[in-house]
């Protein structure tokens, strides 16, 4: 049974990957040279969907907040930025190799996965009991009093404390010992023949300018591992030029690079990826309030796209070097609940460190308090590529629909919200006859000014519908022979398959109404 489930999960994930390739969403990078691991290229529909995701975030975060403004800072930054931020010294992952399988893993992930298994075990016990006892069941009490569940949770707590201590002390011998004591095996082969754990810095470095090769250490610069530092070093430029008062935020979308140890799950963990980050600058002492606020606000945003049971919070066991509180918003990917977004209370760590290393003041004068201080920061950070994968994996479905002969057919359909769809409307002449194609093309040229449209006259109308379903087009607009008489077209709804007949003059309004941001963000 477990194997069958694992197989189904793997099949579902494989289907998403092959769909991405077949329909021009995502291709492996440098494919003709067998690809470059953990690097991907976005194809024609991929780039549209990705742009729409970014616009949707930008709309919600920047355009809908008077006190959040945008920035587009450079990827290359002065190397001291990464010294001050702590990334040179502390942006490491503990890696461990399995001597038999020659596979490399993150030691922290092996231990965290073990704890997730204990959580699952405890939850299953509670679910079983809930079914047995019915309405009167008190889950919290059961967790505390049922000896089996209490024992699982006690063990989990013990591991968590031991693990956190080891990570915080950078005690890699102890991290390995935990793996040995818990008898954690290579997830792929079952081997327990582990090497020692060692730290691995995730930043990519390169040589800068004409002096490359001469004085390597002096000229080393890094590809940014997060976009946030571009925001921190521009904090005063932005605050002064926009006359913002605290609290205010700076948002940025851009590429980030990490030399990930394990990068196996398609676009979930890449070495080159994109982030949508917002740093919210606040008064010291208000960090708890704003951390709670942004947790909730960001969860609400995800819930405009996904149902409640697909997203959940996960508090960090181990805090990053800059944070005093942190959690993830996790999404149920085909391979389980995993991090989609991070929300971090970053204190005044970054601005304070930059002030110290640069010797330049990074302070804000608060007119209401009549004092200057280094602001605190709450950050929200979501990966564009992970949003893409979440959107796609939630929306891609095989569905039974009536076929033309009164039977049942299976269609593959991408039920993404219209606002995110790569193509909003396909304009299709019923058949490729001059009088229809001319009319349809004329409509296409009108509607392309309204939204992203596509004209298609190849293949039968049924095939064209299927193709548009597979790329998530919410509306197919068909021009038929009656159109020539009555100036009306048929609009087919992707999800309900309902068809409405509308005068051509009303189509632009119809589309505007159905694909507006206010359908989700209003």
Q: Does the protein bind ligand GAP through residue 350 (CB under 6 A)?
A: no
Q: Does the protein bind ligand GAP through residue 108 (CB under 6 A)?
A: no
> Candidates 43-51, 78-86, 337-345, 359-367 — which segment interacts with ligand GAP by CB under 6 A?
337-345
Q: How far is CA 185 from the centre of its chain?
A: 29
**Phi/psi at 489 (nearest 5 deg)?**
-130, 165
Q: Does the protein bind ligand GAP through residue 339 (CB under 6 A)?
A: yes
End-to-end CA distance of the chain: 44
Residue from 87, 156, 224, 269 binding ligand GAP (CB under 6 A): 269
| Closer by beta carbon to ligand GAP, 166 or else 256 | 256
The minimum distance between CB 340 and ligand GAP, in angstroms, equals 6
- Binding characters for ligand GAP, 29-58, by CB under 6 A (x = yes): ------------------------------
Residue from 194, 235, 273, 376 binding ligand GAP (CB under 6 A): 273
The minimum distance between CB 96 and ligand GAP, in angstroms, equals 19
The minimum distance between CB 244 and ligand GAP, in angstroms, equals 21
| Closer by beta carbon to ligand GAP, 344 or else 439 | 344
- Residues in CB range of 381: below 8 A, 6 or more apart: 226, 228, 275, 276, 277, 278, 341, 342, 343, 344
| Closer by beta carbon to ligand GAP, 176 or else 258 | 258
Q: Please tell me the total number of residues recorded for the chain in this structure.
A: 522
Residue from 26, 278, 340, 507 binding ligand GAP (CB under 6 A): 340
Pairing mode, strands 425-429 and 475-479: parallel
Over the Cα atoms of the chain, what is R_g? 26
For 134-147, give one letter per residue: b (16+ CB within 10 A) or e: eeeeeeeebbeebe
Q: Does the protein bind ligand GAP through residue 341 (CB under 6 A)?
A: yes
Q: Does the protein bind ligand GAP through residue 277 (CB under 6 A)?
A: yes
* Closest to 234 measured CA to CA, from 74, 87, 67: 74
With tokens 């990917």, the residue in question is 333
The CA-CA-CA angle for residues 129, 135, 137, to 5°, reads: 45
| Closer by beta carbon to ligand GAP, 247 or else 383 | 383
Judged by CB under 6 A, the number of residues near ligand GAP is: 19
| In the complex, residue closest to ligand GAP by CB | 383
Question: Which 370-409 residues touch ligand GAP, going by CB under 6 A?
Answer: 379, 381-383, 385-386
Q: Does the protein bind ligand GAP through residue 325 (CB under 6 A)?
A: no
Q: Does the protein bind ligand GAP through residue 258 (CB under 6 A)?
A: yes
| Closer by beta carbon to ligand GAP, 156 or else 224 | 224
The minimum distance between CB 384 and ligand GAP, in angstroms, equals 8
> Candidates 123-131, 230-238, 271-279, 351-359 — which segment interacts with ligand GAP by CB under 6 A?
271-279
Burial class (CB in 10 A: 0-12, 13-18, 19+), 125: middle
Q: How far is CA 431 from the centre of its chain?
A: 41
| Closer by beta carbon to ligand GAP, 122 or else 231 | 231
Q: Does the protein bind ligand GAP through residue 235 (CB under 6 A)?
A: no
Burial class (CB in 10 A: 0-12, 13-18, 19+), 72: exposed
For 322-340, give one letter per residue: b (16+ CB within 10 A) or e: bbebbbbbbbbbbbeebbb
Judge contact between 489 and 504, C-beta under 8 A.
yes
Torsional sign, CA 26, 31, 36, 41: negative
* Closest to 380 measured CA to CA, from 332, 334, 339, 351: 339
The CA-CA-CA angle for residues 190, 194, 199, to 5°, reads: 125
| Closer by beta carbon to ligand GAP, 130 or else 262 | 262
Q: Does the protein bind ligand GAP through residue 260 (CB under 6 A)?
A: yes
Pairing mode, strands 68-71 and 248-257: parallel
3-state secondary structure 73-118: CCCECCHHHHHHCCHHHHCEEEEEEECCCCCEEEHHHHHHHHHHHH
The minimum distance between CB 252 and ligand GAP, in angstroms, equals 10
Residue from 247, 254, 342, 422 binding ligand GAP (CB under 6 A): 342
Residue 381 to residue 499: CA distance in whole angstroms: 40
Q: Does the protein bind ligand GAP through residue 156 (CB under 6 A)?
A: no
Residue from 97, 226, 287, 469 binding ligand GAP (CB under 6 A): 226
The pair of structure tokens assigned to 301 is 């945003």
The minimum distance between CB 262 and ligand GAP, in angstroms, equals 10
The minimum distance between CB 175 and ligand GAP, in angstroms, equals 20
| Closer by beta carbon to ligand GAP, 192 or else 316 | 316
The minimum distance between CB 304 and ligand GAP, in angstroms, equals 18
Q: Does the protein bind ligand GAP through residue 112 (CB under 6 A)?
A: no
**Contacts to ligand GAP by CB under 6 A:** 226, 228, 258, 260, 269-270, 273, 275, 277, 339-342, 379, 381-383, 385-386
């Amino acid at each position: 049974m477990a194997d069958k489930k694992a197989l189904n999960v793997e099949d579902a994930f494989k289907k998403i990957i092959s769909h991405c390739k077949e329909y021009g969403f995502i291709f492996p990078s440098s494919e003709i040279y067998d690809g470059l691991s953990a690097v991907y290229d976005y194809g024609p529909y991929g780039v549209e969907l990705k742009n729409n995701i970014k616009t949707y975030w930008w709309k919600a975060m920047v355009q809908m907040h008077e006190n959040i403004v945008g920035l587009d800072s450079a990827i290359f930054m002065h190397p001291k930025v990464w010294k001050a931020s702590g990334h040179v010294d502390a942006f490491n992952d503990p890696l461990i190799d399995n001597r038999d399988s020659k596979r490399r893993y993150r030691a922290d992930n092996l231990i965290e996965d073990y704890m997730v298994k204990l959580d699952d075990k405890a939850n299953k016990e509670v679910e079983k009991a809930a079914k047995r006892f019915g309405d009167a069941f008190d889950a919290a009490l059961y967790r505390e009093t049922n000896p089996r569940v209490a024992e699982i949770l006690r063990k989990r707590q013990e591991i968590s404390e031991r693990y956190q201590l080891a990570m915080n002390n950078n005690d890699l011998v102890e991290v390995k010992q935990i793996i040995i004591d818990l008898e954690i095996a290579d997830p792929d082969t079952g081997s327990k023949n582990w090497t020692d754990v060692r730290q691995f810095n995730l930043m990519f470095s390169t040589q800068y300018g004409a002096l490359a090769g001469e004085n390597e250490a002096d000229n080393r610069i890094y590809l940014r591992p997060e976009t946030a530092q571009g925001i921190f070093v521009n904090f005063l430029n932005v605050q002064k030029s926009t006359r913002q008062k605290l609290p205010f935020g700076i948002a940025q979308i851009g590429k980030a690079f990490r030399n990930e140890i394990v990068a196996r799950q398609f676009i979930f963990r890449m070495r080159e990826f994109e982030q949508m980050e917002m740093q919210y600058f606040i008064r010291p002492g208000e960090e708890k309030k704003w951390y709670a606020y942004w947790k909730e606000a960001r969860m609400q945003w995800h819930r405009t796209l996904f149902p409640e049971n697909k997203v959940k919070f996960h508090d960090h066991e181990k805090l990053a070097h800059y944070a005093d509180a942190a959690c993830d918003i996790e999404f149920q990917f085909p391979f389980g609940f995993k991090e989609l977004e991070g929300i971090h209370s970053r204190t005044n760590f970054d601005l304070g460190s930059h002030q110290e290393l640069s010797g330049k003041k990074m302070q804000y004068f608060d007119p209401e308090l009549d004092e200057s201080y280094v602001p605190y920061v709450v950050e929200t950070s979501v990966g564009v590529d992970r949003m893409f994968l979440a959107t796609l994996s939630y929306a891609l479905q095989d569905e039974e629909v009536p076929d033309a002969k009164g039977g049942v057919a299976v269609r593959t359909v991408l039920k993404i919200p219209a606002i995110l769809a790569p193509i909003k409307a396909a304009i299709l002449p019923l058949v490729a006859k001059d009088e229809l194609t001319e009319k349809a093309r004329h409509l296409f040229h009108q509607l392309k000014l309204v939204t992203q449209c596509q004209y298609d006259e190849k293949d039968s109308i049924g095939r064209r519908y299927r193709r548009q379903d597979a790329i998530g087009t919410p509306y197919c607009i068909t021009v038929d022979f009656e159109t020539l008489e009555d100036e009306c077209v048929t609009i087919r709804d992707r999800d309900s398959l309902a068809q409405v007949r509308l005068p051509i003059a009303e189509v632009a309004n119809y589309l505007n109404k159905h694909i507006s941001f206010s359908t989700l963000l209003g």
